[in-house]
Amino acid sequence: MKKTDPEINRRQFLKNGAFAVAAIGAVGVGVNYLRKPNEENTLTLLRPPGAILEDEFIYACIKCGLCVQICPIEAVKLAGISDGLSYGTPYIDPLAQACDFSCDAMQCVETCPTAALDFVLFKKAGEGALIEYQKANPTPGPDYNPFVVQSQAMKATTKMGLAVIDNSTCLAVKGKGFKGVPRESGFEGVYRSPNPKREERKASLVNNHQFDREICDLCVTECPIGEIAIILEEKTGANGSKLWQPKVLDACTGCGVCVMVCPTTPSSIIIEKLEMV
């Protein structure tokens, strides 16, 4: 049996050790590179409904993409490599495609296999709403639909973020109206009108909706949560003139529909990220 030269073994050991040290150093640099942009994501990446705290979310999420696949309006996207440790995790860009709750069932949350999107709060909200409804309506009519009762409660429980109005560009604040379609030609974002009197009960292109408003109020009338989330508040100016101010209420979910349908460029509304606790 041929013996191995001890000197060769020694050189190989040192060479392997050098490679190992270099590799560990590279990993450390890579982790630091990824970690730095992730600090900004706490304030910038709007997570889907039910997302747990950001520091926990990026490790709980296994980047399976099920929430992306199941969203009927393709509102959920996956973060890119420039997003650091958030790479491959889901987020929503409301300016491009807001979450309008078209699924009616929080499907992105229900399909999450690791509870990075936690369904517990929504489940409790739905069950509680159903109990309260049944107490108030012991003999419900033929149109009673328990799913609708639960769905509305689950939507209202969502806290992705909070809408913030830029008064310097808001048309309502300036006393201006709006006529036409909200977004630029070719915009592909969709949403479902919350107005039951309209025929469009399925999600359709934002620019399929024509508006003619004396005072712009699209952020109010197109909100899927309704006037418990945002209202147009009448105020009196210094000279006695009427002023209008969109007022965001506690029930705002941060879904971003108001951002997407706002006709100003840039949008007069942004969503400040919130985290469910």
**Domain spans of the chain?**
6-111, 160-273
Q: Is 75 exposed, middle or buried (0-12, 13-18, 19+ CB in 10 A)?
A: buried
- The sign of the dihedral angle between the CA atoms of 196, 202, 203, 208 is negative
Taking CA atoms, 125 is separated from 4, 129, 204, in Å, by: 71, 6, 29
Tens-of-pLDDT digits for all 277 residues of the chain?
455 555 555 555 455 555 544 444 444 444 454 555 455 555 579 999 999 999 899 999 999 999 999 999 999 999 998 888 899 999 999 999 999 998 988 999 999 999 999 999 999 999 999 999 999 998 888 888 888 889 989 999 999 999 999 999 999 999 999 999 999 999 999 999 887 655 556 889 999 999 999 999 999 999 999 999 999 999 887 777 788 999 999 999 999 999 999 999 999 999 999 876 5
Give the pTM. 0.81
Helix or strand holding residue 242 (H, E): strand 242-248
- pLDDT on residue 165: 97
Which residues on adjacent β-strands are paired with residue 269? 165
- pLDDT on residue 77: 97
Burial call 215-227: b when 16+ CB within 10 Å, e when fewer: bbbbbbbbbbbbe
